[in-house]
Structure 1
């Protein structure tokens, strides 16, 4: 056979790896030492670790450096020359060595990138979807204003179609939902009613596949102003007739305008005061709300500049413009909202529910959306949208604490709400019908409000509160927690690094957990009190285990890679197990089918799986192996998890294998792996020469809480103390209730038993082990305990 030109992953350099829910790496940490990747090898790192094909391109977008000495090179993903929306990956290097990579990579296979629908036709679909009465480009004054403010005579609000690849998030067809789709992207700004969003239209079918709001409504939100914060000082500028609310000392400036109860930005005018003593603005028109907006914008700029060394929301000094007395219906009853539209701040005067929405924490919240759009750019829907909202609430609380510490830091919008105590409570989200636990009480599982972005943000809010203040109790999942608070300043530094360095557009709560833990390690060191607090705070809100034990979050279970480097001659073309039926051509050596509907397997029942090989030209002798991770620990090496081991055959006919699901299998969804190789030595974790691996999900029912393992113990748990981890010479092992260790086994990442480690006096001597990741299994005779550790 010919030699493959594909690139294999270099496992020897990887220390730990955390996966996205689409089966691609979210965070890969590398070992230090002589074989560390160099920053000059960026292309090699991405090619090897992401397993790029000839159709994949990673194009460098920008480079940043931070105060910790890291250099962050951000890359954007392209497939056959078409940008993959939200596909961004970052290399994190220090002193010339790549320490980690992180981001979102979309695996795109066999996608037709030639549109069958023109941009003009797609725009009609987008506008039909939005359904506005009037759009910004239909207003001649607004068009002229845009040209003037941008100093670009060709500037226009009229959407221009950009061809991209994006996940289909709106289809009700399970076969299309979440799949990479060729789409036209439009920035649609509506004037009546007000909205602005990126609308993505399938370039073949003409259907809208994603809406990503640019204007982030706060669902009845607020802002900050001296109407609510007493007498404050703020920079102004001289003007005809006195002074106006403008200043140029912060970045490119901060400016505040009067929309005069209209929806026109171009018709907005300056607020003018003759003597620069703005004491006469407490009137029936609520003109003092403008002072709040101006002071709040300045305070938010100061917070990010002085605390996080960030120069305005884009870190390039961008001008912050605020418009007060806005009304979406000119002369209407009052606009009960505030928003950032991608360019400026807009504040309504409120009506029945709210006073003018210019309170300090609300203004910081809205400018926080601008920071997000320039960093993680979290898509405004479902979990990523909840994170987007949650981070804005975090910055609202932080700015309020920074500028007005006597206010109620942990309430959002308490100054403007005329009906309730606040919009949201970070200390007690349940008080405002928000969840304080992931998928717990008040968690919203519907599609309204862009998938519950204003509701489910309560989980991130409460995580930040617990990280800052601490506390103990039991969450909605029945998990006991105890968090030692680290203070709002340290918590803010961790949250800021999480959002600006590690998160990407489609990040979810599991990714936020991984990213914040890594941020704590970067800032304060592995094993620090800050890392411990971050981890325990996530446990408090139901996302993953507490530090040193418990069950990891569902999306953080990491499976080893398995891939054939060549499918030029043979590949898997058919797999059937219960309701799972898939016929396919070659999938470049690996196919991730874990998102397909998982067949239900009842514990104790006999199951039959069918499979076959496809050949190009001659038929070759192929082995099939099928694995099921019955105890859901991320390994296929436990006893009984190799469920089919089929002998070599050159037949292209469908073959079958039977197995019985053990009664001790853990209930719930887990991984099924099918491996076809021409080499009998190929195992569940290999980059092998010829053949293919396919991963699927199955759902176990009627099983036990944890799977048995052969050799005696009835249950498997990872709830025991194992430290320090990583270790250089010795690991301390403490079992619950100080139980005695009666047996011990160490396995490497391939699942092979490793000899040489010695256990004595409660410690495991790992001095003789090579650097890398291992799995430790210990037993007290009744329970088997298993955890992974890293030898440095």
Structure 2
């Protein structure tokens, strides 16, 4: 359905001409920006603030709303500090802008601040060329499930009964929205607001549930936001794990007792999925005498008590510590399903636990895990539900890492609170220690590195974010990069001194679990928005600490310095360790051999260097040129070859934000490939908000397409130079194409990767054609299996490999032209 609203609906916050939009900076005390350059948090001066009745005016002025922008009231709440929070949802020409909301914060009738995510949209076409039905087919093709929930009559009937709505269905209904394209590798589309159809797709086999967004023009899937946050290698729970507990339940008219109770919100219910994948086929756990000792059996039925206990303990924590009535703050029922198996009958237990957007789901584990009903796992998964109802952090890249990190924070906080109250013994800072059979735990908040997670932003074990987040790459490292938020919370709570991965010395005095948890919860529930990053999380938590404990308080200082300790932002001027001025240290990048190719020419501005081979690396940082922000630049370069001109992969980086790495958005400014010895030219635009001062230019030429900004590689060369930039803060820029590639300057070179070796057809049944990009003859060819054992039943003759004698499978072909050896995989049909 298309979201359209009458113009009268928007009179409060939209419809003004651009001439009427003048920002009133005299009232502003401070401003922090989102990654798209719009305000994330604006604080107002005491005595000069707007009145709450002027919410429309403050948003129009501070966000510079155009006639096409609308902000609709979404909800209003009052917290324990007597702050009023009026939340608004952004629309553009009547179309909802996904993950874009803004909140006005006021106290005693005066606006103290505004915060949120706002998309500045101009001339966006809101007429879809693809209808909802066609878009749904694209979404289903993307998911590729064998069976969906709406195809199961029993599940459909169960949903209708649960919602008391005969029209209720799991079948996705399309909603037209505007959302950022976070999947495209095309720099002209990546990260750009896009008109899209949104579908809630719940797959039964294999199990998944996610919001799938389909470009309403091209049919491309532009975003997958997981609703089921898989806990495999992530979450854990436990009363096979918490001893004998007293659990609230209920008796039935048949004299049986079952795991249901209704003193907490709308109730807590725990069911037996009977090692199946159907919620509607689940049954009650029952007992005749309400003494459940016989449930400690070979089937692990005692973990039903763990799930029931965990749900009750989690509800109690949120109510008693944060005055939150269940995960939705409206008493929502917490339903848990134990003995769930996504592929029943395969003889392998389900190694997972998750919140599916409606209920808790627990598998019995197998080789890695015991049944996944531990207390901290339960708290973690309900934490996802809390996040969904508050910040609603998108489940990918940095926002997804924050999503996972907050769930771990609640796992630790609830475990500590409950164990202290009941006298249990558990490891607060280990997540999933009760259920992990293989390692001490899934994650360690006190020492993330010990479990393969980073403890510093973009430090050791940091997983690069991606434009194509899927479950295969952990949606851009959500379960890995969450280690940074975990460690921040640990340091904030207990304190720590040391030196982090980027060389910053720190000393933080802990403020204790209660204060740390209150700050984290306020940030998540009041200030964070769907597309939050680590930078905005820092701003949100500092503001939360200020609200709770006052500006300049020990808590504000600790929050700030804890972020500095994990590599996000500067240290507080009021405490902690302020770092001395340091020179940024860059990672090494070097070619191992220049026997066949090297960089022989680089020109950018006043940098102009012709050279022979420099041993794989040249430090030209003493040579510099100046680049004006907003200017268009051309960089020229060429390869020198000993003989044959091979296909070479060029990458040019500029560290625009001067943080010592080249992995931030927009810092790969030129990328492409060529087999030419001629001069190549790449063009790029220096972003208007790049950081002023001297920074590093890195030019890499390698024979391998996978070579990045920071590694050694086999053949080729790296050269570093200095560029001086004037401007503001970090902004992204597009990856330019290469032009040139021959002695004719106007020729165009495709940025498509030219493989040094081409194999076809692949898979092959009888013969495999082998072609070198250099057109050189193949001198030798060796086939090995994936174990590295040489295979004799393959013959290479006249540019073709006879594979008819090979068994079906995957093999590695190593070929040589007499100078270099290339490796490619192929499949024998």
What TM-score do the two structures reach when normalised by structure 1?
0.72
SS at match of 2:379: helix
User: Residues 418-469 of structure 1, C-alpha deviation per residue, up to 9 Å, x if partnerless?
Assistant: 0110000000000100000000000001541000000000000000000001
- Change in CA separation of 1:597 and 1:414 when aligned onto 2, cut-off 3 Å: closer
Partners of 2:394 and 2:167 in 1: CA distance: 28
User: Residues 24-69 of structure 1, C-alpha deviation per residue, up to 9 Å, x if partnerless?
Assistant: 0000000111x32000000100000000000000000000000101
- The equivalences for 1:265-664 within 5 A come to 265-332=279-346, 333-405=348-420, 406-445=425-464, 447=466, 448-548=473-573, 549=578, 576-579=631-634, 630-631=692-693
Specify the alignment match of 2:20 in structure 1. 6
**Alignment partner of 1:116 is 2:123:** no
- Change in CA separation of 1:501 and 1:666 when aligned onto 2, cut-off 3 Å: farther
Query: Is contact 1:103-1:503 (8 Å) kept?
Result: yes
Specify the alignment match of 2:196 in structure 1. 183
Partners of 1:429 and 1:462 in 2: CA distance: 7
Query: Is contact 2:690-2:726 (8 Å) kept?
Result: no
Query: Is contact 2:105-2:112 (8 Å) kept?
Result: yes
**How many correspondences in the alignment?**
590
| Deviation, structure 1 residue 496 | 0.4
SS at match of 2:337: strand
Partners of 2:450 and 2:414 in 1: CA distance: 23
| Deviation, structure 1 residue 671 | 3.8
What TM-score do the two structures reach when normalised by structure 2?
0.68
Partners of 1:300 and 1:628 in 2: CA distance: 45
Partners of 2:669 and 2:417 in 1: CA distance: 53
- Change in CA separation of 1:256 and 1:334 when aligned onto 2, cut-off 3 Å: same
Specify the alignment match of 2:148 in structure 1. 135
| Deviation, structure 1 residue 276 | 1.1
Query: Is contact 2:188-2:734 (8 Å) kept?
Result: no
- Change in CA separation of 1:280 and 1:610 when aligned onto 2, cut-off 3 Å: closer
- Change in CA separation of 1:439 and 1:288 when aligned onto 2, cut-off 3 Å: same
Where does the alignment leave 5 or more consecutive residues of structure 1 unmatched?
Answer: 553-573, 581-593, 601-608, 612-625, 634-663, 674-694, 700-792
SS at match of 1:228: coil
| Deviation, structure 1 residue 223 | 3.8
| Deviation, structure 1 residue 6 | 3.3
SS at match of 1:173: coil
Specify the alignment match of 1:152 in structure 2. 165
Partners of 2:127 and 2:457 in 1: CA distance: 41
- Change in CA separation of 1:598 and 1:442 when aligned onto 2, cut-off 3 Å: closer
- Change in CA separation of 1:15 and 1:217 when aligned onto 2, cut-off 3 Å: same
Partners of 1:51 and 1:371 in 2: CA distance: 32
| Deviation, structure 1 residue 666 | 8.0
SS at match of 2:271: strand
- The equivalences for 1:770-789 within 5 A come to none
**Alignment partner of 1:89 is 2:102:** yes
Q: What root-mean-square deviation, in Å, do the aligned CA atoms of Structure 1 and Structure 2 show? A: 2.6
| Deviation, structure 1 residue 471 | 1.0
SS at match of 1:165: strand
- Change in CA separation of 1:277 and 1:374 when aligned onto 2, cut-off 3 Å: same
User: Residues 201-241 of structure 1, C-alpha deviation per residue, up to 9 Å, x if partnerless?
Assistant: 00000000000000001233444331001011110011234
Partners of 2:689 and 2:392 in 1: CA distance: 38
- Change in CA separation of 1:595 and 1:277 when aligned onto 2, cut-off 3 Å: closer
- 4+ runs deviating over 6 angstroms: 594-600, 664-669, 695-699
Specify the alignment match of 2:703 in structure 1. none
Where does the alignment leave 5 or more consecutive residues of structure 2 unmatched?
Answer: 1-16, 467-472, 582-628, 636-663, 671-682, 696-720, 736-829
SS at match of 1:5: helix
